Amino acid sequence: MNFIIDPTWAMTDTQFEQSAHKPKDPVTYTSALNKVNDVLTNEVLTEAQVELEFMKTAMNEMVQLASSETFMSNFLNVRRLIFNIENGTKVIRCGDLSINEIKL
């Protein structure tokens, strides 16, 4: 494989020395990293708070639904329906609906 070197891209030692930066002192790096850490921590914390509020809202809605009489009545009827089928009863009741003489 042949490489073509463009002489306009080459830098002399003097140009390199002039463009190179001195390493910053450790305090500067620590300060910069702490700032980045603070920003990231705040971003993550904000996102977590949004998710927590969403979960609280969803949980409250589920509790309200589960505590409603209609839901409890329907849940108990469906549970009884499943229970009756599993036990092979011939009469299945679900709410006002009654089905007799089911062959299982």
Q: What pLDDT is stored for residue 77 in this prediction?
A: 63
Q: From residue 49, give the alpha-carbon distance in Å to each of 1, 34, 35, 54.
A: 56, 22, 21, 9
- The pLDDT averaged over each successive group of 10 residues in the chain (104 residues) is 52 52 68 85 86 85 76 66 54 54 48
| Domain ranges across the chain | 25-67, 69-104
Q: What pLDDT is stored for residue 70 in this prediction?
A: 74
Q: What pLDDT is stored for residue 104 in this prediction?
A: 47
Q: What pLDDT is stored for residue 95 in this prediction?
A: 52
* Of 1, 72, 5, residue with least CA distance to 80: 72
Task: Look up the pTM and report it.
Answer: 0.38
